[in-house]
Amino acid sequence: MLALEDLNLTEKLVLSYFLLNEKNLKDNNVVIANRLSLTKITVRQIIFKLKSKKIIEVIGGYSDRRIKILINIKMKFEKAKFNGFNLDDDILKLDLNMTKKFILAEIRSLMSSKNAKCTASNLHIANLLKLKERAIQTALFELENGGFIKRSFVNVKGKTERTIILNLNSTKEEAKKVEVEATPPKEVKEVEKIYNDEVLSIFESFPKRPIMSELKIEEQKSLCLPILQSKSKEELDFIKFVIDFNVKNNESWKAGFMPYMYKFLCDKKKYFNEAIKSEFYKFKNRPKVNANLQLLNLQLERDLFTFFSEIEESVWELSDVDILEEFKNRYILGYVKFNDDDFNKMALEMIKEYRPRTLNL
């Protein structure tokens, strides 16, 4: 039987995930990372470690990869040893750290083997997970406060016996209830605020006529805001363009003879005709120079050249995606200001160009 004590908690967590369900053996690193609250790089490193320890075998390429378990793990309870990988799906999905997930898994394991009761001491769990008793004490306190467990204390022959009971189902239902009741209103309020801020900014951007009183400004505001709030996002973009276009190109506006904003919004023939619409769509569809992308391109060319000059030729046996992960391990801190999608797309294209033609994957 595998000496499971040789694995750290993170390695046990990923191995537990593979043992839980045969379907999990086909999941990619992104899916596994999201399910276990780990990073993609961490998952990849653990899979390499499990492979090097001959616990698993990796079959196929990145897009059709499958994990094969090479060892036989018996779901057997043995005191003071991690034994069962009893990390069921309802525990894996919880938004908890690894220590708390393993504590819940051990409580369930003990409940299954001791008449549905867990009376394990903090010392037992600490030895099991190779942590200090203080850390276990804190974790149990937080799990109880979160509603994941319940603890009861009774006097048995002059000694205090603690019993721990799992409470996962009610916690799950409460979490769903909170999510349904609390999240949508918050999201709606944030969207409404952004939209109303944009509407107000358009009103403020319209140039005011000379010697325009505060009373007249408030009157225009009360007339114009309802019109602007009734518009779609694209219609607001069009209005912003027409205002900017007239400020730059309309001689009477430059001289200070612009209309009141309400009249401007209602004059479809003069200010919102087909000719100005055509100018708007030209502006909207005009390719924009993205300085960030240009900088990203230059930085990647430099760093990838350095990366490939330092590594061994055997790296080309990996897929483009795996090579990218190796590159990220060394250089990712220099790319935090760039968009992830832009970074991945551009880096993969460059890796394909660098790849020797005889080793295309």
Question: What residue segments make up the domains of the chain, in order of their start?
Answer: 1-73, 82-166, 177-282, 291-359
Per-residue exposure over 282-293, b if at least 16 CB sit within 10 Å of its own CB, e if not? eeeeeeeeeeee
- The answer to whether domain 1-73 and domain 82-166 are alike in fold is yes
d(CA 275, CA 242): 11
Dump pLDDT digits (tens) for 145-165: 888 888 877 766 656 678 888
Strands (E), 34-98: 56-59, 66-69
When mean pLDDT is compared over 54-58, 75-79, 238-242, 338-342, the highest value belongs to 238-242
| Two structure tokens written together for 21 | 């369900």
CA distances from 240 to 162, 202, 209, 231, 278 (A): 68, 6, 18, 12, 15
Whether 184 shows a pLDDT value over 70: the answer reads no
Query: Which pLDDT score is estimated for 4?
Result: 56
Whether 62 shows a pLDDT value over 70: the answer reads no
Whether 81 shows a pLDDT value over 50: the answer reads no
Between 175 and 283, the more confident residue is 283
3-state helix vs strand vs coil in the chain, percent to 5: 65, 5, 25
Whether 31 shows a pLDDT value over 90: the answer reads no
Query: Which pLDDT score is estimated for 74?
Result: 52
Between 105 and 278, the more confident residue is 278
pTM of the predicted model, to two decimals?
0.38
Residue linked to tokens 């899979």 = 47
In DSSP notation, 16-40 reads HHHHH-GGGGG--HHHHHHHHT--H
Domain range 82-166, CATH architecture: Orthogonal Bundle (1.10)
Query: Which pLDDT score is estimated for 359?
Result: 55
Beta-carbon contacts of 133 under 8 Å, excluding residues fewer than 6 positions away, are 122, 123, 126
d(CA 167, CA 108): 11
State the average pLDDT over residues 8-29.
82
**Using 50, 70 and 90 to split pLDDT, how confident is the model at 182?**
very low
Can you name the CATH fold of 1-73?
Arc Repressor Mutant, subunit A (1.10.10)
